[in-house]
Amino acid sequence: MRSSLSRGATIAAAYLAVRAVGVLIWWALTAINDRVNPAPWDGDWYLRIAELGYAGAGEGMTDADGVASPHGAMAFFPGYPLLVRAAAHLVGGHYLALGIAVSTLAGIAGAYGIARLTRQLGGGRRAELVAVVLTAAAPMSVVYSMPYPESLLVALVAWTLVALLEQRWWLAAACTVAAGFTSPMAGPLIPVVMAAGFVHLYRSRARMAGAATAVMVAPLGMLGYLLWVKTTSGVPGGYFEITERGWGNTVDFGAVTLEWVVRAFTERRDAFVVLTAAAIVAAVVATLFTRMPWPVWLYTAGTVALIVAHSGLVQDRVRLLLSAFPLLIIAAIRLARGRPRTVVLAVAGICLAGLWFGAYSVAVWPYGI
């Protein structure tokens, strides 16, 4: 018991320490560039939804083209802002502070899930710690300390994957519904949970109720929100038309992404563009050549495919790649096999690079993330 508590405290402390370093780098770059806004871009939307609801959140706000849209807030899923709103009702306080607190607490929960998933994928205690540290310092992990839903989504996905590998179907069902209510990036998770449930039902007669429940309820969080947007907004295409109009999001099977990557490597571009293109290519290659249990691999492949296949803003792709965190877990398991000094130096270098990238994207890069 004492050992488990100690290990849990170590995981939380490691996550918070890395995020603290990331925040310090972020603050340093914002001070150098005289650009301080702790809730830029999407963060503004989420906080306004939390405070004003969907009806009032869009007033005075514009989409990616600078155009006011009465339904623009509906492009942002409600799971995260509802948590912030609930926190405001329970403890009061400033919405920005509450948003950061919710993100931080969700990040800690995600760290525990990542450590547990690392064990399920064959890693030891050192690998668990390395996986948590790499995830906390991943490129664009700066949003884990901002009013963004990524830390909540990662936590829900991590615990869903743990539940699938451990065949804890009720937990898988609950986390999948919540993830689908939190972000469209939960899309690849839903068919994975349903497929795993079907496979279990086919192979085993035991614990059928839980698996059957997971199959049936997994899509309900996302489908419920999409149906609400369709009926409430009156827009013919619902959520999909709103995001296409305001943010150019549609499925183009990778045409925009491919053009971005080719131009990034062949024309003069700044660091953010080149590193974003490199991250996309690295994620695709790593997914193709990384071995994992099939539910984890299928989720990761679906996530990377979704990121590559949709059009719209390319500069947020590294942020979306945070959802492909199983790739970092596999990297952590392999890194942890080295000599302790080598592991420390390699992890420190990787972390500093990732934390700098996130800080740069918010404090220096002039566009949305």
* Chain segment 259-308, per-residue pLDDT in tens: 989 998 888 778 888 999 999 999 999 999 999 999 999 999 999 999 99
Q: What is the pLDDT of residue 268?
A: 72
Residue 276 lies in a domain: yes
Q: Which two tokens stand for residue 268?
A: 């003069």
What's the rounded Cα separation, in Å, for the pair 250 and 75?
A: 13
Q: What is the pLDDT of residue 3?
A: 67
Question: 206: pLDDT confidence band, cut at 50, 70 and 90?
Answer: low
* pLDDT at residue 40 greater than cutoff 70: no
Residue with more model confidence, 195 or 246: 195
Which residues form the domain of 351?
2-363
Q: What is the pLDDT of residue 368?
A: 67
Q: What is the pLDDT of residue 272?
A: 86
Q: pLDDT (tens digit, 9 = 90+) per residue, 129-170?
A: 999 999 999 999 999 999 999 999 999 999 999 999 999 999
* pLDDT at residue 314 greater than cutoff 90: no
Bridge partners (DSSP) listed for residue 68: 62
- Total domains, the chain: 1
Question: 116: pLDDT confidence band, cut at 50, 70 and 90?
Answer: very high
Across the range 218-232, mean pLDDT stands at 96
Q: What is the pLDDT of residue 2?
A: 61
* pLDDT at residue 180 greater than cutoff 80: yes
Q: What is the pLDDT of residue 248?
A: 80
| Exposure string for 307-327, b = 16+ CB within 10 A, e = fewer | bbebbbbbbbbbbbbbbbbbb
Q: What is the pLDDT of residue 92?
A: 82
Residue 369 lies in a domain: no
Question: 209: pLDDT confidence band, cut at 50, 70 and 90?
Answer: confident
Judge whether 304 and 321 are in contact, CB under 8 Å: yes
Across the range 48-59, mean pLDDT stands at 88
Q: What is the pLDDT of residue 176?
A: 98
* pLDDT at residue 61 greater than cutoff 90: no
Q: What is the mean pLDDT of the chain?
A: 91
Across the range 323-338, mean pLDDT stands at 96
Residue with more model confidence, 31 or 143: 143
Q: What is the pLDDT of residue 212?
A: 93
Across the range 323-348, mean pLDDT stands at 95
Residue 233 lies in a domain: yes
Residue 368 lies in a domain: no
Across the range 245-251, mean pLDDT stands at 84
Residue 359 lies in a domain: yes
Residue 184 lies in a domain: yes
Residue 94 lies in a domain: yes
How much of the chain exceeds pLDDT 90, in percent? Answer: 70
Of 203-217, 219-233, 286-300, the least confident? 203-217
Residue 55 lies in a domain: yes
| Cβ-based burial of 119 (10 A; exposed 0-12, middle 13-18, buried ≥19) | middle
* pLDDT at residue 98 greater than cutoff 80: yes
Question: 177: pLDDT confidence band, cut at 50, 70 and 90?
Answer: very high
What's the rounded Cα separation, in Å, for the pair 164 and 37?
A: 39
What are φ and ψ of residue 236, in 5° steps? Answer: -55, -45
Q: pLDDT (tens digit, 9 = 90+) per residue, 103-112?
A: 999 999 999 9
